[in-house]
Amino acid sequence: MRSRASLLLEREYLQLQTSPIIGMIASPHEDNLLEWMATIQGLKDTPWEGAKYKLSLKFTDDYNSVPPTVTFHTIPFHPNVDKATGRPCIGFLDEPRLWKQSLTVSSILLGIQVLLSNPVLERAVNTDAAEILRFDPSRYWEIVRDCVRISHGPRPDVCSSTVANVCCTPLPQPPPTMDVKSRIKKVPFDDYLRTWTEIATSRACPSSKNSLLESLQFYPSLQRMHYRLPREILEQAIEEQNEEFSAIMFGRFGKLRRASPTVDEKLARISRMKHIYIQESPVQWSPVPTQVSVRSEASRE
């Protein structure tokens, strides 16, 4: 005796035969009504337009109380399609409470078509595709176009492996932080005080003495170590500082001051400035007699 699930599936198959839906083909596999093979195309006016994917649908005798198991044979690179098993992540297929007995084979395939063009990142099962779509959308849609092109090839079943090699390149990660071990260690306070008393350059009071600083003037090698400078540069810097200090405190000696200009020099300078900046008065030119004035004078004569 045929089961209720077989009768329902037979009726759905007849409906698909009499009223086919554009973009999908589905039929039982080898006359087994509980196993179907289907081919869907990407929706028009979407990046998936023109893509062709084969799927299998496996039903149980409890259909249509429970959903079928749907698997992609040509696995697309998609956040909501498991790249290992090929199973799409759709709420009404994964959660029995969301399944409705009114859903049919055609409505299941239509839901998968819509899912291809409208990925849901909150339910991602392909983390690589989800991260690329989230952080580099242009790269993701370029991969989708590769999937569409490969799905038309002689072996569309290689789509998932080929695209995986092309598109699953890890996203650029920030450089790893170096795990620097802490160099802090405990030292006795007496050692700390003695060390910093010797190397410090300030004094608590004018009478305080620093044995290390006093010894630097007798040992040039210690001076270079303390100031981290070559001896020649250190001597030049000290000499420049001494000259600057002397100039500030006592003025600069050894340079002749410029003598004040005399009265004659000032007058000569003023005269030169007049020739440069003060223009001479323009020459008064007499008007040129015109032809009319010449004739009038001739008539008078």
Whether the per-residue pLDDT at 125 is higher than 50: the answer is yes
pLDDT in tens, 206-262: 666 666 666 666 666 666 666 666 667 767 777 877 887 777 777 666 555 566 778
Residue 224's pLDDT is: 63
* Domain contains 284: no
Give per-residue pLDDT as tens, 51-110. 999 999 999 999 989 999 999 988 899 999 998 899 999 989 988 888 999 999 999 999
Are 79 and 222 found together in one domain?
A: no
For residues 223 and 155, membership in a common domain is answered with no
**Residue of 193 and 178 predicted with greater confidence:** 193
> How many Cα atoms occupy the beta-carbon half-sphere of 244 within 13 Å?
6
Residue 66 lies in domain: 4-167
Q: Does a structural domain hold residue 124?
A: yes
**Angle between helix 137-151 and 159-167 (nearest 10):** 150
Q: What is the pLDDT of residue 147?
A: 85
pLDDT at 82: 92
Reported as a single tens digit per residue, the pLDDT across 239-255 is 877 887 777 777 666 55
160 and 98 inside one domain:
yes
- Same-domain status, 89 and 238: no
Residues 40 and 161 in one domain: yes
The CATH number linked to 161 is 3.10.110.10
Q: What is the pLDDT of residue 87?
A: 93
Picking from 148, 167, 186, the residue at the C-terminal end of a domain is 167
- Is 157 inside a domain boundary? yes
41 with 154, same domain? yes
- Residue ending a domain, among 141, 167, 193, is 167
Of 167, 197, 229, the residue at which a domain comes to its end is: 167
Query: Which H helix or E strand runs over 272?
Result: helix 263-277
Q: Would you say residue 127 lies in a domain? A: yes
Residues 19-30 have a mean pLDDT of 90
Residue 88 within a domain: yes
Rounded distance, CA 110 to CA 115, Å?
A: 9
**Residue 25 falls inside a structural domain:** yes
pLDDT of residue 299: 54
For all residues of the chain together, what is the average pLDDT? Answer: 76
Please name the residue that has the structure tokens 């990925």: 119
Q: Identify the pLDDT of residue 140.
A: 92
Residue percentage of the chain with pLDDT more than 90: 32
205 is catalytic: no
| Whether residue 218 sits in one domain with residue 151 | no
| Averaged pLDDT, 36-48 | 91
Look at the chain and report how many structural domains it folds into: 2
User: Do 162 and 72 lie in a common domain?
Assistant: yes
Give the pLDDT score at 276. Answer: 56
Q: What is the pLDDT of residues 270-292, one digit of tens each?
A: 776 665 555 544 545 455 555 54
In this structure, the answer to whether residues 12 and 85 fall within a common structural domain is yes
Sign of CA dihedral 176, 182, 183, 184: positive
Judge if 233 and 109 occupy the same domain. Answer: no
Angstrom distance (rounded) from CA 96 to CA 82: 19
Say yes or no to pLDDT of 191 above 90.
Answer: no
| Res 236: pLDDT | 76
pLDDT of residue 194: 72
Please name every residue paired with 72 in a beta bridge, in sequence order, or none if there are none.
55
Residue tagged active-site, from 89, 147, 159, 167:
89
Residues 25 and 163 in one domain: yes
Tell me, yes or no, whether 294 lies in a domain: no
Asked if 159 and 224 sit in the same domain, the reply is no
In a domain, 74, yes or no: yes
Q: How many residues does the chain have?
A: 301
